[in-house]
Amino acid sequence: MGMIDITEKPVIKRLAEAAGKIILSPGTVLKIKKGQIKKGDPLLVAEIAAMNTTKQTHLLIPHCHQISLDTVKVSFDIFDESIEARCLVRAQARTGVEMEALVGVSMALNTVWDMVKYLEKDDKGQYPKTRITDIRVIKKEKGN
């Protein structure tokens, strides 16, 4: 089988944006807002993690082509009991960048979880309410 041969496809502008959210306790969200997380600012670390991971998507998903990315933008919206992450990726390539955007937003959310897990555990060490959900591509464009 192998990778799809994209040799004959033209290099064009590509854009994809993915989003997802992590559900957290209100207390955890408040500590994030107040800058009281032991490991530092989870949103800053999550942004860096997402940018790094988008550039490595071809190493993580076997059928993805290596794509030189022109930009990666990560943003967050904070709500009372959740944080929504968005990852926008642009490139000039022969194939789309949806997987890069999805990997980026997924890693951003995983990083937030890692940094606040000590606040989310119950007395048995479980995460009864914490969840990552609604990961999806919200925009895809190609061409001019």
- So which residues are the catalytic ones? 114
Nearest to 107 by CA among 65, 47, 32: 47
Torsional class of 76: left (φ above 0), alpha (ψ -120 to 50), beta (otherwise): beta
Q: How far is residue 123 CA from its own chain's centroid?
A: 29
Sheet strands (E) in 3-130: 12-23, 69-78, 82-93
